[in-house]
Amino acid sequence: NAGVMQNPRHLVRRRGQEARLRCSPMKGHSHVYWYRQLPEEGLKFMVYLQKENIIDESGMPKERFSAEFPKEGPSILRIQQVVRGDSAAYFCASSSTGLNTEAFFGQGTRLTVV
Amino acid sequence: EDQVTQSPEALRLQEGESSSLNCSYTVSGLRGLFWYRQDPGKGPEFLFTLYSAGEEKEKERLKATLTKKESFLHITAPKPEDSATYLCAFDNNAGNMLTFGGGTRLMVKP
């Protein structure tokens, strides 16, 4: 049973470009969470999605950030017009129940904005 | 405001030197208290979930306990491969996410 798969593992973007981060949850999991870990800071919740629905986006910056989890395919976190402050590790987690019981994390995508 | 604080920020131990990591929390409507291990460059790895005061769970050299205000991660006779950052987090009734503490970076010297 493959774990949570994130790609790419490393992503370099120039200021002003778009970044697309992908997350495939564990088999049988329909709940996906995105977290951001800034350098020297803790993990911060961004958004919680179920298939085709955004359930809670209270941690998402109001501008430039969006997320989706389509009926088919991986969940996508999209950052438009990236700035240096977006450089961070972005982690995706999935669970089967949506109650955060045993949410499993992927290895993360490390975004560097140059 | 619900919050969680971990101490110490960093801990150096000699191999075999047992110790405890602390996670203090102020949470209304606690649904679960979670412990994760994170190695450099990797994602958090799930260790334990505790749901009620008095509950204890063990896995190899690790034991997690929970009171109404704190959780402890006890490490018995640690080995160098136990070196990692240990994160605690809570899930409450108000939201749909885990709220993480800042972590304790554990270094075990041979």
Task: For A14-34, write each residue's pLDDT tens digit.
Answer: 999 999 999 999 998 989 999
Chain A environment of B31 (Cβ under 8 Å): 99-100
pLDDT at A99: 67
**Phi, psi torsion values for B81, nearest 5 degrees:** -70, -5
Q: Cα dist. B23→A26, A89, B6, B65 in Å?
A: 29, 23, 4, 10
Relative to beta strand B10-14, strand B104-109 is parallel
Residue B61 in 3-state DSSP? coil
The pLDDT of residue B88 is above 60: yes
A104 contacts on B by Cβ (under 8 Å): 46
Average pLDDT on B5-12 reads: 97
Q: What pLDDT is recorded for position B28?
A: 84
| Residue A64 near residue A52 (C-beta atoms within 8 A) | no
Give the distance from residue A108's alpha carbon to the nearest chain B alpha carbon, in angstroms. Answer: 6
Closest to B72 in 3D by CA, of B7, B5, B21: B21
Residue with tokens 């986006």: A57
- For residue A24 the two structure tokens come to 């495939």
Check residue A49 and give its pLDDT: 94
**Structural contact between residues A39 and B88, judged by C-beta atoms closer than 8 angstroms:** no
**pLDDT band, very low/low/confident/very high, at B95 (cuts 50, 70, 90):** low
Q: What is the mean pLDDT of chain B?
A: 93
* pLDDT tens-digit series, residues B35-67: 999 999 999 999 999 999 999 999 999 999 999
